[in-house]
Amino acid sequence: MDIAPYIDHTLLKPVMTLEDCKNLCDEAATYGFAAVCLPPPLVKNAKAMLKQSTVKVATVIGFPFGYSAAKAKVFEVQQAIEDGADELDMVINLVALKNKAWSYLEGEAKHIIEAAHKNDRVLKVIIESGVLTNEEIIHCCELYGNMGVDFLKTSTGYAEKGASVEAVQLMREHLPASVKIKASGGIRTAQFAKQLIGAGADRLGCSASVAIVKEEEGAEGY
Catalytic residue among 89, 124, 150, 180: 89
Residue 37's φ and ψ, nearest 5 degrees, are -125, 120
Active site residue 182: yes
According to the model, what pLDDT value does residue 221 have?
56
Active site residue 214: no
The mean per-residue pLDDT over the stretch 159-163 comes to 95
Q: Does position 185 have pLDDT exceeding 60, yes or no?
A: yes
Distance CA 40, CA 141 (A): 27
- Domains identified in the chain, total number: 1
The mean per-residue pLDDT over the stretch 23-41 comes to 98
Mean pLDDT of the chain: 97
Q: Does position 222 have pLDDT exceeding 60, yes or no?
A: no
CATH of the domain at 121: 3.20.20.70
Give the relative orientation of helices 190-199 and 165-174 as an angle to the nearest 10 degrees.
20
Q: Does position 193 have pLDDT exceeding 70, yes or no?
A: yes
Catalytic residue among 56, 124, 153, 180: 153
How many CA atoms lie less than 13 Å away from 69 in the CB half-sphere?
A: 3
According to the model, what pLDDT value does residue 10 have?
98
Confidence of residue 216 (pLDDT cuts 50, 70, 90): confident
Confidence of residue 101 (pLDDT cuts 50, 70, 90): very high
66 lies in which domain range? 4-219
Query: What is the DSSP code string of the chain?
Result: ---GGGEEEE---TT--HHHHHHHHHHHHHHT-SEEEE-GGGHHHHHHHTTTS--EEEEEESTTT--S-HHHHHHHHHHHHHHT-SEEEEE--HHHHHTT-HHHHHHHHHHHHHHHHTTT-EEEEE--GGGS-HHHHHHHHHHHHHHT-SEEE---S-SS----HHHHHHHHHHS-TTSEEEEESS--SHHHHHHHHHHT-SEEEESSHHHHHHHHHHHTT-
Q: Does position 176 have pLDDT exceeding 90, yes or no?
A: yes
pLDDT tens digits, 42-78: 999 999 999 999 999 999 999 999 999 999 999 999 9
Active site residue 153: yes
According to the model, what pLDDT value does residue 6 have?
98
**% of the chain with per-residue pLDDT over 90:** 96
According to the model, what pLDDT value does residue 220 have?
66
